Amino acid sequence: MTGLAGKVALVTGSGRGIGRAVALRLAQDGAALAISDVDAAGGQAVVQELQGQGRQAQFYPADVAAADQVNQLVDRIMADLGGLHVLVNNAGITRDALLLRMSDEDWDRVLTVNLKGAFLCTRAALRPMLRQRWGRIINIASVVGLVGNAGQANYAASKAGLVGLSKATAKEAASRGVTVNAIAPGFIDTAMTKGLKEELKQEILKQIPLGRLGQPEDIAAAVAFLASEEARYITGHVLCVDGGLTMV
């Protein structure tokens, strides 16, 4: 596919996991890629991988929770790559604890990275998108933001917040050709889920009708669709990619 030829895509947290798979897929579809992460080694490895495939890609270190870094990130991408058409707010963390034991720090950090980070990136990227009258913003939420999960009050709140952010931004940006959607992954096989105990993994598998954990490429395929011209009439939507786990 070459549907994104001539377009520039920024994927936050693309040094590994889902973000890496999304970046590889959008590049395969023809986009020039801005790879951004707090992990410089991971981000640079993805850039090398992309360049090895003959794709256009550059690494931009940035913490999505820091407004000054985010603003500089978008300015540099505009200067280096000549535009910004697709933003995938993917960077995210977990700091799990039962609510009664959850510290203020763990609450604040998860909300700041997962939700404020997406707000800061959206605010910085939206101006050029509105100006060029074409844009795609895709927020990586979670089924946990839709149905909750014990031990993840901070994470669930941040992901539910992303759904609200997506819908409000979708209404503000629609008249200028910018769509904003969220993807709610179920359990995806990445470093984030590697730590799950085997028993818990088996319990989860029993609840997934399609009978397996998702792969990062399953999420990348959904992002590629929402980023494409084909998805032009879809905005403010939450797409669950969860093997049938929630069916909400």
Ligand X SMILES: NC(=O)c1ccc[n+]([C@@H]2O[C@H](COP(=O)([O-])OP(=O)(O)OC[C@H]3O[C@@H](n4cnc5c(N)ncnc54)[C@H](O)[C@@H]3O)[C@@H](O)[C@H]2O)c1
By rule CB under 6 A, what count of residues binds ligand X?
29
Q: Find the shortest distance in angstroms from Cβ 39 to ligand X.
A: 4
Per CB under 6 A, the segment of 2-10, 27-35, 166-174, 188-196 that binds ligand X is 188-196
Letters for 1-40 (x = contact with ligand X by CB under 6 A, - = none) are -----------xx-xxxxx-----------------xxx-
Residues 6 or more apart whose CB falls under 8 angstroms from that of 197 comprise none
> Which C-beta is closer to ligand X: that of 9 or that of 65?
65
Task: Report strand pairing: 135-140 vs 178-185.
Answer: parallel
The order of strands in the sheet holding 57-61 is 57-61, 32-37, 8-12, 86-89, 135-140, 178-185, 238-241
Q: Find the shortest distance in angstroms from Cβ 5 to ligand X.
A: 26
> Which C-beta is closer to ligand X: that of 93 or that of 238?
93
Q: Find the shortest distance in angstroms from Cβ 123 to ligand X.
A: 15
Per CB under 6 A, the segment of 48-56, 59-67, 172-180, 196-204 that binds ligand X is 59-67
92 near ligand X, judged by CB under 6 A: yes
Please list every residue from 192 through 221 that binds ligand X, using CB under 6 A. Answer: 192-193
Give the residue from 47, 54, 227, 28 showing the smallest Cα distance to 137. Answer: 227
> Which C-beta is closer to ligand X: that of 135 or that of 185?
185
Q: Which of 191, 211, 233, 247 binds ligand X (CB under 6 A)?
A: 191
- Point out the catalytic residue in the list 155, 166, 186, 220: 155
Quote the CA–CA distance of 186 and 195 in Å, as a whole number. 16
106 near ligand X, judged by CB under 6 A: no
Told to judge if 233 belongs to the known catalytic residues of this protein, a careful annotator would answer no
Q: How far apart are the first and last CA of the chain?
A: 31
> Which C-beta is closer to ligand X: that of 6 or that of 148?
148
Quote the CA–CA distance of 114 and 35 in Å, as a whole number. 17
Binding site for ligand X (CB under 6 A): 12-13, 15-19, 37-39, 42, 63-65, 90-93, 113, 117, 140, 142, 185, 187-188, 190-193
Enumerate the active-site residues: 155
